[in-house]
């Protein structure tokens, strides 16, 4: 059965005339008559009494009339709901990022973008743990974009044929520790201590924090012992303040703690990690909203 047959039937029940109904349905009268016959064949009973002028519904047609109305109305309601949902989805962008960046970078960045984009809803996902998790989320279309730190001297492992990226900004990751009673750093890296230094980062190549390679390159003579792991910089900061260990933290996040003396540097500023903040997208998907957002980012560079 075709929906247009139902609409033909409803128009004919109102007009009582095949010629007038065919004109309203923008179809020739022979074609209109064939469609009414096809509906009757599908139902298995005559719906129109053609022996009366104007034509009228048969007993079966009277029974079927409210059913046809319900089907059409249900279809229109369903169609509108789907269209509304599509419109809502077209105004929604999904990001995956570190909890830290979701707090200290995304709010201001998105606010500055608002005049240039037609997006009103944002979903921020911070539950992923490793770089593999983040890129898998992109590859499986669970998110539209992934935003992360990147040490440009080392690079981030990803397949450029599968993922594209753009630079959004820069941030210094600085080594911080709690101070001793006299205000000195609890651990001062240039001292080259032989004792293990408790570290508040995972030492994995798959960590979204660009710490491991920096440690291996700059501090190969030191031993760092991971004692706490989290992708949330706020949690790392608090653990460092409480004296649990050393953490490389975004300068934006710890500037107040440095000024107040809750935290102090563990090395000279020239050994900070100069990290880029980059956004990634999958090249497998070409949704209009994602393409437009991506193009807007290019124009803002």
Taking the alpha carbons at both ends of the chain, their separation in whole angstroms is 55
Ranges of CATH 3.40.190.290 domains, the chain: 92-300
Structure tokens that stand for 220 in this block: 């190969």
Separation between Cα atoms, residue 125 and residue 102, nearest integer Å? 9
Look at residue 136 in the predicted model and tell me its pLDDT.
92
Q: Is the pTM value of this prediction over 0.75?
A: no
The residues of the chain scoring below 70 in pLDDT are 83-91, 151-159, 202-205, 301
- In the numeric block, the tokens 């600085």 are attached to 174
Domain 92-300, second-level architecture: 3-Layer(aba) Sandwich (3.40)
Cis status, amide bond into 262, omega within 30 of 0: no
Look at residue 39 in the predicted model and tell me its pLDDT.
95
Other CB atoms within 10 A of residue 215 CB: 20
Ranges of CATH 1.10.10.10 domains, the chain: 3-89
Other CB atoms within 10 A of residue 46 CB: 16
| 3-89: in CATH 1.10.10.10 | yes
Look at residue 232 in the predicted model and tell me its pLDDT.
81
Separation between Cα atoms, residue 226 and residue 203, nearest integer Å? 7
Residue positions counted in the chain = 301
- In the numeric block, the tokens 């798959």 are attached to 206
C-alpha distances (whole Å) from 33 to each of 3, 82, 101 are 15, 33, 65
Structure tokens that stand for 293 in this block: 């957002």
CA 164 to chain centre: 16
Look at residue 230 in the predicted model and tell me its pLDDT.
78
Separation between Cα atoms, residue 18 and residue 15, nearest integer Å? 8
Closest CA to 186 of 198, 178, 176: 178
């Amino acid at each position: 059965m075709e929906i247009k047959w139902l609409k033909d039937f409803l128009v004919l029940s109102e007009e009582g005339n095949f010629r007038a109904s065919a004109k309203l349905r923008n179809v020739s009268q022979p074609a209109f008559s064939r469609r009414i016959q096809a509906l009757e064949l599908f139902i298995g009973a005559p719906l129109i009494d053609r022996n009366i002028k104007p034509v009228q519904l048969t007993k079966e047609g009277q029974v079927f009339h409210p059913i046809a109305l319900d089907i059409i109305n249900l279809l229109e309601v369903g169609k509108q709901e789907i269209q509304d949902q599509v419109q809502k989805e077209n105004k929604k962008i999904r990001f995956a990022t570190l909890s830290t960046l979701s707090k200290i970078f995304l709010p201001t960045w998105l606010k500055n973008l608002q005049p240039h984009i037609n997006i009103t809803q944002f979903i921020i996902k911070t539950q992923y743990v490793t770089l593999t998790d983040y890129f898998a989320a992109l590859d499986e279309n669970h998110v539209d974009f992934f935003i992360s730190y990147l040490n440009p001297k080392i690079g981030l492992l990803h397949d450029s044929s599968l993922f594209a990226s753009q630079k959004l900004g820069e941030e210094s990751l600085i080594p911080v520790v709690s101070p001793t009673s006299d205000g000195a750093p609890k651990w001062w890296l240039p001292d080259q201590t032989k004792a293990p230094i408790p570290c508040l980062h995972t030492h994995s190549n798959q960590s979204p924090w660009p710490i491991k390679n920096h440690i291996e390159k700059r501090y190969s003579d030191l031993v760092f012992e991971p004692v706490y792991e989290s992708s949330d910089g706020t949690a790392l900061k608090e653990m460092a303040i409480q004296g649990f260990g050393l953490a490389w933290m975004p300068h934006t996040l710890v500037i107040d703690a440095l000024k107040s003396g809750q935290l102090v540097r563990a090395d000279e500023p020239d050994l900070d990690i100069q990290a880029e903040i980059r956004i990634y997208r999958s090249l497998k998907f070409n949704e209009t909203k994602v393409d437009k957002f991506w193009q807007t980012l290019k124009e803002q560079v």
